């Protein structure tokens, strides 16, 4: 009998078709690849590229995109610390379900707080949660600095009470992009301490989408996820 | 640019591998079979049986069980009307994602309120939401009446302030089962007006799990979901 949540009479329903049966049908193993990093670091690019790479190998994946989920499952949540935590928790719970179906779930979210990512990791069996951190590249750092400057200037202008229709327009436009709680600007990003994969630029060059996906595919293959194996036979 | 939720700068990320590609890989079409009905009407039984039937046909399904989700995604929610609505909304959103992967998502929840079920239906393209209502059988009605009697008696005893260690024990035990907001006892169940499938006893006999699943499989086949087709070739 469960003592979780708000009820004491909710029993677990066991299905006769479990993860093993589904994995057999799919000819693959379910897991979560959790992509974390600042805005503009290439999370969506990697997620899409990885999904394509896996597809060409006959492997079924699904992208849980943090931004997309804010249009649906998480549309009731904002960007304050508590809401971000709940946002990540829900994505973690859904990612767990996806891994349980046998799919390779690619979660792509800034997920700035270490404790939130670690809570998602703890939901899954060991090795089934693969954290891939994207280090921001030079371009991103440049963009970040410009955003920081604009942010500061707008604050100064507001304090000086200098407004004109032109400035209002800039302010409005910028604010739709630079809102309070923008990770990396006025909200911290806590990098992973021991993530499975870290993707960064080499010799100042950003890796191509294919190269980034290749790093993840290599990791998966190395750890026995058989993602190089082509679909074959009647099970795939 | 989205104006939903609490942010105005959340853009939709399009994946290069879409539902069509995933369905091709799986050799099946994604949809949601939403099973609704009172406690004890056989929702879990049908869900499990249907999952097994589909599996023997090489079709990948996944059960979203309302009770199980209250241990994870929805563990922060209780049983008040608002919480039930949010519970159903989240399950609907997740079911939509599952259908988008190409899986046959079997959602099994009391989901007592019509408007909540209809809101989930509205999340999906037409015909991709298949509502299956289970009508409670004679046994269930008997159980329901007994629960109602116990519930009433406990209220009477409470009002009369008659308590003994023995009565306390009964009360405690019963309350863990009969809590306020028990659908069909002191909370309404609103039956669907136009559901796709209605499963009920025939000539006083309850259908077997296989027969119930058969009714859903027949419906799916009739509507062109190809669930009788055996897995074949390299795509499955």
**How far are the Cα atoms of A30, A101, A212, B52 from residue A21, in angstroms, in the given order?**
12, 9, 31, 10
Q: Per the structure, how many domains does chain A have?
A: 1
B80 domain residue, yes or no = yes
Angle at A55 between CA A32 and CA B28, to 5 degrees: 95
Q: Are B102 and B59 in contact (CB under 8 A)?
A: no
Please give the residue range of the domain that contains residue A128. Answer: 19-136+189-222
Predicted confidence (pLDDT) per residue in B38-81, tens digit:
877 889 999 999 999 999 999 999 999 998 999 999 999 988 88
Most A-contacting residue of B73, B88, B179 (CB-CB within 10 A), to test interface: B73
Name every chain A residue with its beta carbon within 8 A of the beta carbon of B64: 97
Strand partners, A198: A133
Name every chain B residue with its beta carbon within 8 A of the beta carbon of A6: 77-79, 83
Of B13, B58, B234, the CB nearest to A232: B234
Mean pLDDT in residue range B191-198: 94
Angle at B49 between CA B44 and CA B50, to 5 degrees: 100
Q: Residue B43's closest chain A neighbor by CA?
A: A13
Q: Does residue B101 carry a pLDDT above 90?
A: yes
Q: Are B234 and B24 in contact (CB under 8 A)?
A: no
The mean pLDDT value of chain B amounts to 80
- Per annotation, catalytic residue among B108, B111, B174, B176: B111
Residue B52: φ, ψ to 5°: -70, -45
The tokens describing A77, both together, are 């949540």
Yes or no, beta carbons of A74 and B5 under 8 Å apart: yes
Yes or no, beta carbons of B98 and A101 under 8 Å apart: yes
B118 domain residue, yes or no = yes
Minimal CA separation from A12 to chain B, in Å: 5
Minimal CA separation from A191 to chain B, in Å: 23
Identify the pLDDT of residue A203.
63
Say which residue, B227 or B55, is predicted with more confidence.
Answer: B55
A230 domain residue, yes or no = no
- Residue A31 is classified by DSSP as E
H-only helix segments in B126-164: 138-159
B11 domain residue, yes or no = no
Yes or no, beta carbons of B60 and A100 under 8 Å apart: no
- Give the span between the Cα atoms of B60 and A23, in whole angstroms: 10
Yes or no, beta carbons of B234 and A235 under 8 Å apart: no
The tokens describing B168, both together, are 């306390």
Mean pLDDT in residue range B118-128: 93
Identify the pLDDT of residue A80.
85
Identify the pLDDT of residue B173.
45
A168 domain residue, yes or no = no
Q: Which residues of A are catalytic?
A: 111
B88 domain residue, yes or no = yes
Yes or no, beta carbons of A179 and B9 under 8 Å apart: yes
Q: Are B111 and B35 in contact (CB under 8 A)?
A: no
Say which residue, A215 or B163, is predicted with more confidence.
Answer: A215
H-only helix segments in B102-194: 114-123, 138-159, 165-177
Most A-contacting residue of B25, B53, B147 (CB-CB within 10 A), to test interface: B25
C-alpha B2: how far from chain center: 30
Yes or no, beta carbons of A101 and B96 under 8 Å apart: no
| Per-residue pLDDT in tens (0 to 9) along chain A, 236 residues | 333 444 455 666 667 799 999 999 999 999 999 999 987 788 999 999 999 999 999 999 999 999 899 999 999 998 888 999 999 999 999 999 999 999 999 999 999 999 999 999 999 988 899 999 998 754 455 555 666 666 666 666 666 665 554 455 455 445 444 445 556 555 788 999 989 999 986 666 778 899 999 999 999 999 888 776 444 433 33
Yes or no, beta carbons of B235 and A232 under 8 Å apart: no
Name every chain A residue with its beta carbon within 8 A of the beta carbon of B47: 13, 15
Identify the pLDDT of residue B108.
96
B216 domain residue, yes or no = yes
B159 domain residue, yes or no = no
Most B-contacting residue of A56, A68, A91 (CB-CB within 10 A), to test interface: A68
**Residue A97's CATH number:** 3.40.50.300
């Amino acid at each position: 009998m469960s003592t979780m949540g708000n009820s004491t009479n909710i029993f677990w329903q066991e299905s006769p078709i479990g993860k093993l049966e589904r994995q057999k049908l799919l000819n693959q193993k379910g897991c979560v690849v959790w992509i974390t990093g600042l805005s503009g670091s290439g999370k969506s690019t990697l997620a899409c590229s990885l999904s394509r790479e896996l597809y060409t190998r006959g492997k079924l994946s699904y992208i849980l995109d943090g931004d997309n989920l804010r249009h649906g499952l998480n549309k009731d949540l904002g960007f304050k610390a508590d809401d971000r935590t709940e946002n990540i928790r829900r994505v973690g719970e859904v990612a767990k379900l996806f891994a349980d179906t046998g799919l390779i779930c690619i979660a792509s979210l800034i997920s700035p707080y270490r404790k939130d990512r670690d809570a998602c990791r703890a939901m899954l069996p060991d090795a089934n949660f693969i954290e891939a951190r994207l280090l921001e590249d030079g371009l991103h750092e440049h963009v970040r600095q410009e955003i920081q400057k604009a942010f500061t200037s707008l604050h100064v202008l507001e304090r000086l009470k200098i407004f004109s229709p032109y400035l209002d327009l800039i302010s409005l436009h910028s604010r739709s992009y630079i809102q309070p709680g923008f990770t990396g600007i006025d909200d911290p990003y806590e990098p992973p301490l021991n993530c499975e994969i870290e993707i960064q630029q080499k010799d100042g060059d950003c890796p191509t989408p294919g190269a980034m996906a290749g790093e993840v595919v290599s990791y998966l293959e190395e750890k026995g996820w058989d993602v190089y194996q082509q679909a074959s036979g009647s099970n795939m």
